[in-house]
Structure 1
Amino acid sequence: MRKKIGYVFFAFLCLFCMIGCQKKEPIELMPFENIEIKTTGWNKKAKVVIVSHKVHYTGNDETVQKLIHSLSYSVKDNKNLKNGDKVTINLIYDKKLAELANVKFDKTEYTYKVHGLSNDNRSVKTITKNKKDANTGENVDVAEQIITIDGVEIPASWNLSEEEIQDYVSYMKGMEYTDNTPDETGVKDDWIQGDSDVKTNRKNAKYYTKDYNNNDVNCYQAAYNYGQSSSQLYKVIPVIKDDKSVGYECIFKEKS
């Protein structure tokens, strides 16, 4: 009888060890799937900025969530960049926390190709316009300075910051690209190919100028960056309300 009980106990012990020793499959996270990247500065003088990142996770494990919130990124050799340069973006994370959360990453680094930078070849000219004086009602000559950068004219009276000037020039150059990109049949096709090497599956997103201090340029740039940092075909279109443009929407050719 004791021998039989001993066999049963041994079998139970073996089963317990087998179950206890089985390790769960690690949770795979994709830290670069929804990363938004922006280049600031002029060609040969630029740097890369991580605008935002969102790691997809539908579970409720607090350790995993803590790990996700702690993620950050660093960019190697991030100075004096020019169009065509490639920079490496590294994921920074707590290895012990990742092990505790039983998480693995599909990638821990990402190569980004710098593009869309304009040359700071600015020139300034003064033009004279005949305008009606608000006080006297008489027509008077008014001098106005015009800044021209990479073929884009900007009135000095706009008082744009250096970053706003860069964004506006990028916006205008992007509009030129959109309007003049032919497809294989010779018909204009304003779909733009995103620059990400990592396959993305993004959904359409709307951006409103009210969320960008009513700065139309910054609003457009946000929508443009969202599409450009994807691997999908996209375009940016105005959001119209009451016959007025209130923002921009980044839409994708193949919807997720």
Structure 2
Amino acid sequence: MTRYLRYFILTIAALLLLFVVLNLAAAMNLVRVYSAGTSAKKDLQASLDSLQANNFSAVVISAGEAEDSLAVAFSRLESLEDNFWVKRSDSLYPQIKDLEYMVKTAEVLARSLSAGAAIGQKVNGILPDQPGVSFSDLKKADKEAVLKLIYESVPDLNGVKANLDLALMDLKKVDNSGWFGPLQKQMSLAKDELQVGAELMAKTITLSQLLPVLAGYPDPANYLVLLQNSDELRPTGGFLGTLGVL
């Protein structure tokens, strides 16, 4: 009887030890997620600061570092999601999923910053480093280079737009009644900013498709400009008294 009792106690102790180890691993993963997320937040803020300063090379570096940190965080969250106890927790599992959505949102934003900054780097490589220089002040070769860059950047801009849409979609999946309840106001502002950013990007894409063509790239174009006088009504709206060719 004593032997069986000893085996029983050892079995219980082993199960308790296993329980502690499994939960310790989950706790360590949460710590790593927090550490990686904090690092990514700093890198993203550094990217935004560099973007405001038009330091696109620094944006690319900081955004890349943020992506690396967020990849670590996402990997740890996936491990947490597969944890035996987490899977069976009706309260903890949804919070882990919300964390995943937040990490995905941040990762997509970092990717968007990196892609946008790469385009900015190319523009800076063409334009002279002189404040107040307009497009008309550029040499013909530089004008063609700028138009070529705008014309060829449409796929990249579409990628940025898709990333912003994806980030907004992931952010909307987060349950505000859980861990992120206290951040509801900030998350609402973030959603609004992402929506505005996506709309601005859509307009930018449209302009990027039209401007080069209107400016004669990739093929030269001529435009007939007709001016009508509304005081002398005609079926088209007025008398066509002035014309010009561009």
Structure with a larger share of its residues in strand: 1
> What TM-score, normalized to structure 2?
0.28
